[in-house]
Structure 1
Amino acid sequence: MINGLLILTLLAFVVIYWRWPSIQNQLWQKKYQATLLNENQKTILLRSMPIYQKMTDAERQKLERHIVWFLNEKCFVGCDGLVLNDAMKLIVAADACVLVLNKPWPLYQNVKEILLYPSAYYAAQTSRDGAGLVSYHNTVRQGESWPGGTLVLSWHDVLEGNRLPSDGHNLVFHEFAHQLDQETGKTTGTPLLTSSADYKEWGRVFSHAFTQLKSHVAYNMPHVIHSYGATNEAEFFAVLTETFLEKPSELRQYDPQIYRLLVNYYQFDPIKWH
């Protein structure tokens, strides 16, 4: 009898374990189904977020539901004297949720907290030279994305990213793209994909585009993607995401294959928002 109960208990745990994502999603749907952005929040987005202005009503509704979930599930912390308000959190959440517009909850599973500084900040950094000598110094940064689930953002640069929607720079897009990259457990420039065929195509197209950018930067040839993307594969993916969202027509003309790859991954075409 005891063995039978033990088996039934284990089976119940197995069923709950495998069905937990679906169960959790149903709980979230019930929890947030009646929660909507108010008119003041929508006005803030219309005033400060160009992409939101160009979206269809259906896209806005989807984005707004994501924002509600994000604001309730993620922690925001003000740093270096910055006093957070709801509008700040709203703008960061909105930019972050654009990247996952057509993806299901949970969004950014690894993200636990977002630290906001008033502007660029100093961060301690260590480096080792060719002789093995380690030096310690401070560097000025606008943002960081840590594998442990913490993002650090300069509020000034968050605002600049939305104020200049076609310059190819958006700090929130950049740092949250790193988080998508890190969902695989590594930071390689390859986010979580659905099949081996997808990984094979990603490797082929992504590697070609990365090599091309490095060559264009080295030989001072024209390139749409910012030269910082040539730093490494992880930065290439983050910078590429910024370019995809802010300069979609130019990117498609510059490299149609990488553009198609990003449309397939992000599940939207940002050209219609420009």
Structure 2
Amino acid sequence: MVNVILIFLLILFVVAYWRINDIQRYFWQRKYQQHSLSAQDKEILRRYMPIYRQLSNEEQSRLESHIVWFLGEKRILGKDGLTVNRPMGLIVAADACLLVINQSWPLYPNVKEVLLYPSSYYVPESSRDGAGLVSYHTTIRQGESWPGGTLVLSWHDVLEGNRLPQDGHNLVFHEFAHQLDQQTGQTNGTPLLPKSITYGRWGTVFTRAYQRLKTQIAYHMPHTFHPYGATNEAEFFAVATETFIEKPRQFKHEEPELYHLMVEYFRFDPENWHPTPTF
């Protein structure tokens, strides 16, 4: 009888382990089913997040649901005397959740907290030269994404990213793209891919576009991507994500193969969120 009970408990444990996300989602649905964004919350999104205004009703509803979950499960903390209020949390969560709008909970499973500084901040750094001599200095940063689950953002630059929705720069998109990249356990420009995309295919298309950007910069050729994307593969993925959402038509024209690959990865086409220009 004892053996039967132990076998039953073992089977129950195995099933629960393999269905943990489904079980979590069930409890999250019960926890958040009575929660929704207020009319005031939605007005804040309309005012400060231009892309939100271009989403379909279904997309807006899905994004709002993700925001509720994100604000309930992640910590957003102020640094250097900054007090984080409801509108600030909404804007950060909305930008972060836009990248995963068509994915199911849990979103950004590795992310635990977001630290907001009032503006750019100083970070102490050390470096070692060829002779082994260590030097210490400080650098100014706008944001960081740590593999341990912490993101650091400059609130001023968060606002700027939303104020100019078509300039190809959005700090939240950039840093949360790093978190997507880091879900594989490495930061190398290759996120955790859906079954429809092979890693070989991603590597071929991605590397070709990355090398093309480096060539364009080296020979002073025109390019859509920010030059910072040529720093390394991880930064190229983050910059490509910003460009993908904010400059979809230019991206599609310059790198059509990578564009369609990112549509497949993100599960949305941002070209639908940018009104067709009229002449």
- TM-score, with normalisation over the residues of structure 2? 0.96
Return the offset for 1:194. Answer: 2.5
Deviation readout 1:70-122 (Å, 9 max, x if unpaired): 00000011000101101000000000000000011000000000000000000
Task: In structure 1, give the amino acid aligned to 2:122.
Answer: Y
Return the offset for 1:197. Answer: 5.0
Distance 2:202 2:244 in 1: 16
Distance 1:42 1:202 in 2: 36
Return the offset for 1:27. Answer: 1.0
Q: Which runs of 4+ in 1 moved over 4 A?
A: none
Equivalent position of 1:65 in the other structure:
65
Task: In structure 1, give the amino acid aligned to 2:175.
Answer: E
Deviation readout 1:221-261 (Å, 9 max, x if unpaired): 11100000000000000000000011100110111011111
Task: In structure 1, give the amino acid aligned to 2:136.
Answer: Y
Distance 1:105 1:242 in 2: 23
Return the offset for 1:2. Answer: 2.5
Equivalent position of 2:156 in the other structure:
156
Any gaps of 5 or more consecutive residues in structure 1? Answer: none
Return the offset for 1:135. Answer: 1.7
Return the offset for 1:196. Answer: 8.3
Equivalent position of 1:53 in the other structure:
53
Return the offset for 1:4. Answer: 2.5
Task: In structure 2, give the amino acid aligned to 1:120.
Answer: S
Deviation readout 1:139-189 (Å, 9 max, x if unpaired): 000000000000000000000000011111000000000000000000000
Amino-acid identity (%): 64
Distance 1:132 1:233 in 2: 27
Determine if the alignment matches structure 1 residue 202 to structure 2 residue 189.
Answer: no
Distance 1:6 1:48 in 2: 56
Distance 1:200 1:143 in 2: 31
Determine if the alignment matches structure 1 residue 130 to structure 2 residue 130.
Answer: yes
Task: In structure 1, give the amino acid aligned to 2:231.
Answer: T
CA 197–79 in structure 1, closer or farther in 2 if over 3 Å, else same: closer
Any gaps of 5 or more consecutive residues in structure 2? Answer: 275-279
Equivalent position of 2:5 in the other structure:
5
Determine if the alignment matches structure 1 residue 243 to structure 2 residue 243.
Answer: yes
Aligned partners of 2:229 and 2:238 also within 8 Å: yes
Greater Cα shift, 88-97 or 131-140: 131-140
Determine if the alignment matches structure 1 residue 172 to structure 2 residue 172.
Answer: yes
Equivalent position of 1:184 in the other structure:
184
- State the number of aligned residues: 274
Distance 1:112 1:12 in 2: 29
Distance 1:105 1:144 in 2: 24
Distance 2:44 2:141 in 1: 27
Equivalent position of 2:224 in the other structure:
224
Greater Cα shift, 154-163 or 253-262: 253-262
Return the offset for 1:199. Answer: 1.0
Distance 1:21 1:143 in 2: 30
Equivalent position of 2:110 in the other structure:
110
Equivalent position of 1:81 in the other structure:
81
Distance 1:48 1:208 in 2: 36
Aligned partners of 2:178 and 2:187 also within 8 Å: yes
| DSSP 3-state at the match of 1:125 | strand
Distance 2:56 2:75 in 1: 29
CA 82–43 in structure 1, closer or farther in 2 if over 3 Å, else same: same
Distance 2:136 2:145 in 1: 20
Q: CA-atom RMSD, angstroms? A: 1.0
Aligned partners of 2:194 and 2:265 also within 8 Å: no
Equivalent position of 1:16 in the other structure:
16
Distance 1:5 1:40 in 2: 54
